[in-house]
Chain A
């Protein structure tokens, strides 16, 4: 190697080092909304530096096709960056699929360039890279399909499902083990891709819509780990670091999500939650509920000092968040203290509800996490539930027979008055009846969330003028 090449190599390594620092700072600045935008800038600069540094690589002879690919990727990326906020979960799942696709392709190309001279440890990480990459690719596509409602959201189960899935996973590991010992077995390599591809599809089939926040976080973690494995294969410390950061981020989010549902990973992956349980609904038909009109609801809200609004995904589906913002404005103008209680699994991915409310211009310091607001419900005059169900179900605290027993909930039943906007008395996504609706202090507001909130806002603003 002459001195010129060595110099280039050093410049590349230095750009990677700076990029690594910027990536870590980028995530550090995500700790608060005040510094988060700076975090994005840092990430962008790191990325540009690293790509520019890579272009100095001495082996690169062909720049034209690199440029074409970068332009094409940008062309796909821009529309994916402009999707509506309700579509962010499926966009995220799709980007996990793209990331995994990239990693799998590079792993495959590297294998065929190196075989049969692949050291054992290298072959082991390469196998991990393509196995994780392939299963994340199809798994994320399935998750995106379910979130986009192209595929049925209900879990599909059949007898022996877990056995089939685990066998496929075991088969890929066995193939990987064989390749580690015999890295010249080129014809076996495609099998190690196809089997996890199939596993990825079958893994997501039995998972219901309510578990999507956990699943999307797990897939995030897998995508990160496969990228870190690729870092070992192509000997890039920057990629190892980025993959490790992404993998630990996904893992932390998965842990938060599964704790918020009181379920273990194995239970999420193999438990097929979200199946309708008709037995839970029967026998409750006799109970009576009290309902109220928009005028009555407006009167109660206007007389309150402290109001907590509990939004669920139903609010976003009804596109009611902008009307909720008007309600927030109308009440705040009257001197009512209005806050929002956010359950960790509200929405379709971690933090989704915060983004939807921020989009409607609701200040983020009004969005309070479950643990911070639960103690305040006894001093709350009105808890207004919009499009949320299971996360307010007091049976999770008291009824040991309930399928959601033990799941942390928002203690709305401790507020002085509870109002629930709901289309009808039909049970929620998990098919579990909610005793909250039959309490004496609960008023049911039957109707479409957007239209009902609009009527309340109308009453509130009409009476001030």
Chain B
């Protein structure tokens, strides 16, 4: 087991704890936009796919990477777009909010 993998496990463990604590506090009102937002953030997998396409080490890695970039980018764009649209609809009845 390399030290990179051990470091990765530490990062995963800490991020999972932060995730639990932060997401527990998300208002149930916003659970649908939460899911579309985390989905968009998850599409950061696009960085791995970009490297595969750019390095062009083999035909297979190039083609698979290319398709993966398309799939992940559509999640990034679609996910942020719909989250934003949903959140714009949430309005308070109190006039204090600008």
Q: Interface on A for B, CB 8 Å cutoff?
A: 19, 23-24, 26-28, 30-34, 36-37, 39-40, 43-44, 46-47, 50-51, 54-55, 57, 59-63, 65-66, 68-70, 72-74, 76-83, 85, 88, 91-92, 95-96, 98-99, 101-103, 105-106, 108-110, 112-113, 119, 121-122, 125, 216-217, 220, 223-224, 227-228, 230-250, 252-253, 256, 342, 344, 349-352, 354-355, 358-359, 361, 363-367, 369
Contact = CB atoms under 8 A, between A and B. Distances in A.
Enumerate the 7 nearest inter-chain pairs by beta-carbon distance, A residue then B residue, closest first. Answer: A73-B73, A81-B81, A77-B77, A351-B31, A60-B54, A363-B93, A248-B19
Nearest to A125: B5
B4 to A, nearest CB: 6
B47 A50 contact: yes
A79 B2 CA distance: 43
Nearest to B55: A59
Tell me whether chain B's interface is mostly helix, strand or loop, or mixed: helix
Contacts of A60: 50-51, 54-55
A255 to B, nearest CB: 10
23 contacts: A19-B44, A24-B18, A27-B26, A31-B26, A33-B87, A33-B92, A59-B51, A59-B54, A66-B54, A69-B70, A72-B70, A77-B79, A82-B81, A95-B39, A101-B68, A106-B45, A106-B65, A109-B61, A227-B44, A241-B12, A249-B23, A354-B32, A364-B92
Contact of B72 (A98, A119, A248, A352): A98
B18 A77 contact: no
Contact of B82 (A31, A88, A365): A88
Contacts of A354: 28-32, 90
A244 B12 contact: yes
Nearest to B73: A73
A83 B55 contact: no
A252 B29 CA distance: 15
B39 to A, nearest CB: 5
Interface in B74-92: 74-92
A106 B48 contact: yes
A39 B97 CA distance: 17
Given A32-B27, A240-B8, A358-B91, A69 B32 contact: no
B32 A247 contact: no
B74 A77 contact: yes
Nearest to A103: B45
A50 B84 CA distance: 20
A187 B5 CA distance: 26
A235 B7 CA distance: 10
B8 A364 contact: no
B50 A244 contact: no
Nearest to B94: A365
A27 B16 CA distance: 13
A63 B33 contact: no
B56 to A, nearest CB: 5
B30 A250 contact: no
Nearest to A28: B22
Contact of A27 (B23, B66, B73): B23
Contacts of B39: 92, 95-96, 99, 220, 223, 246
Given A26-B37, A85-B86, A252-B23, A54 B50 contact: yes
Given A113-B57, A236-B47, A365-B94, A106 B52 contact: yes
Contact of A351 (B34, B43, B64): B34
Contacts of B8: 231-232, 235, 237, 240
B71 A351 contact: no
B64 to A, nearest CB: 4
Given A62-B54, A232-B8, A351-B28, A248 B20 contact: yes
Given A122-B5, A355-B89, 11 more contacts: A26-B37, A40-B84, A72-B70, A74-B74, A77-B75, A78-B81, A81-B80, A96-B39, A103-B45, A252-B23, A361-B89
